[in-house]
Amino acid sequence: MHFVKNFILTFLILFFAGCASANKQDPSAITIWHWMSDRDEVFQELAKKYEDQTGAKVKFDLFAPSEAYAQRVKASAQTATLPDIYGVLGEKRDFASFIRSGYIANLSQALGETKDGVAWKDDFFKKAVSVNEFLPGNEFGVEPGIYGVPLDVTTIQMVYNKKLYEKAGLDPEAPPRTWEEFMGHASILREAGIPRLVSGFGEIWMLDALASNLAMNLMGEEKVFDTYRGKVSYADPDWVRVLSFFKQMTDEKVFVEGAVTMVNKTAEQTFANERAAYAFNGSWCVNVYKGMNPDLQYAAMLPPSVSNLHPARIWGGAGGSFVVNAGSTRRDGAVKFLKWLTDEKQQAFLAEKTENLPSNKASLGKISPVLASFADDMDNTTHPNIYPVHEFPSVVEAFDKGIQSILIGEKKPEEVAQDTQKIKEKESAKARAN
């Protein structure tokens, strides 16, 4: 039944993609596909501005939700009906596959072109550019270069409610910096009858993000990467300690009830309605919370430090990125539009209208204070898409689901560490055999 559903979905996507390509209203317009429903109205406004300024027509087409969008792009690649500009959702290996298949143009030369002595790529946060970059000798066999343009950036960290902090007698301008302070503040909040931490941990990638933050801070990036390389065991005391942080939060009832199975949208509603003092979330939440509770008083903070031996690392970098279809007959026009779209003025306009962090560094002075509290930690960001080595997906899943089992009291940290290592050894043996 699952196969039949997927077959029907793919057939319909292919059919409508073919119909769309056969019924283009204006073949001279630069066509852009995207999945960002919260930004579609602003995109349409920018397209009109661009046409008024240059005479060139741009057409934004929204396909939501993101799962449907991703399916459409994959199907359209198979039928050579991709638009001039689009985005690739998924892991870096998916991105690489599109490049190797000739669906994405190498933009290195264009990004290196200067304006007033500054290269286009230098307008952006370096960490945002690196998400779309493939370095020499990369594991995917992609020709070195930059293949995408970051539209916005994001950081995933923690937010805290200033009003609830004040209610508990805590300083609303002094969030916890260390793990000990965090647990101490959580205890004070509990005594005041205030729920503490909420997040969409039903979506295990969020657990993965928090766990990797703690791991890199505790043992350093290289030891984490050496674990992925198979040089360090998940049964190592440092990995057990990472898992123990989740056990400690569970034992001391830090999590809001139901957080283990909660999707992030529900978690966002919980925090916005002031039913939790903390949330682990990304910078996109500024726009979400604004719609849910415009009077919410909160700020971003780094996850509490568990060690002073290694720097804090949080997930972040490019939020959404656009690529240019290598086979487009309007390729030069597409690049010209992306330069305009990511210029300081348009970036500031997007940030103001959508409350997303601009990828153009020069636009930061025009964003809201709460959004700025996310931006000032951009130097601390990392992301699996820019790691020099990657873990087996089945190992990541075992580790993250193991954390869930700790949160519901089914397993101890040591058990999860050993179970994860067994999966790692099994996958490593299979890789060697191939």
Tell whether omega for the bond before 358 is within 30 degrees of 0, i.e. cis: no
Q: CA angle 282-244-377, nearest 5°? A: 30
Q: pLDDT for 231-271, tens place per residue?
A: 999 999 999 999 999 999 999 999 999 999 999 999 999 99
Q: pLDDT for 32-70, tens place per residue?
A: 999 998 899 999 999 999 999 999 999 999 999 888 999
- Answer yes or no: are the C-beta atoms of 98 and 104 closer than 8 Å: yes
Evaluate if residue 222 carries a pLDDT over 70.
yes
Q: pLDDT for 119-146, tens place per residue?
A: 999 999 888 899 999 999 998 999 999 9
Structure tokens at 398: 């075992």
Evaluate if residue 375 carries a pLDDT over 90.
no
In sign, the C-alpha dihedral spanning 216, 218, 224, 226 is: positive
- The band of 378, judged by pLDDT with boundaries at 50, 70 and 90, is confident
What pLDDT, on a 0 to 100 scale, did the predictor assign at position 18?
44
What pLDDT, on a 0 to 100 scale, did the predictor assign at position 434?
81
Burial of 192 (0-12, 13-18, 19+ CB in 10 A): middle
Structure tokens at 254: 């830090």
- Answer yes or no: are the C-beta atoms of 64 and 320 closer than 8 Å: no
For domain 155-316+389-433, which architecture applies?
3-Layer(aba) Sandwich (3.40)
What pLDDT, on a 0 to 100 scale, did the predictor assign at position 33?
98
Evaluate if residue 4 carries a pLDDT over 60.
no
- The band of 367, judged by pLDDT with boundaries at 50, 70 and 90, is confident
Phi-psi region of 220 (alpha: psi -120 to 50; beta: other; left: phi over 0): left
What pLDDT, on a 0 to 100 scale, did the predictor assign at position 350?
93
Q: pLDDT for 385-397, tens place per residue?
A: 889 898 999 999 9
Q: Among 374, 377, 358, which residue's Cα sits nearest to residue 153? A: 358
Evaluate if residue 303 carries a pLDDT over 90.
yes
CATH hierarchy code of domain 24-151+319-342: 3.40.190.10
What pLDDT, on a 0 to 100 scale, did the predictor assign at position 213?
96
Q: pLDDT for 66-89, tens place per residue?
A: 889 999 999 999 999 999 999 999
Q: What is the DSSP string of 269-280?
A: HHHHTTS-SEEE
What pLDDT, on a 0 to 100 scale, did the predictor assign at position 13?
43
Q: What is the DSSP string of 14-75?
A: HHHHHHHHHT-S-TTSEEEEE--GGGHHHHHHHHHHHHHHHS--EEEEE--SHHHHHHHHHH
Domain ranges for the chain? 24-151+319-342, 155-316+389-433
Residue 314: helix, strand or coil by DSSP?
strand
Q: Among 190, 191, 192, 210, which residue's Cα sits nearest to residue 200? A: 210
Q: What is the mean pLDDT of residues 9-20?
A: 43
Identical fold between 24-151+319-342 and 155-316+389-433 = yes
Q: What is the mean pLDDT of residues 302-316?
A: 94
What pLDDT, on a 0 to 100 scale, did the predictor assign at position 51?
97
Cα 378 to Cα 124: distance, rounded to the nearest angstrom:
12
Evaluate if residue 7 carries a pLDDT over 60.
no
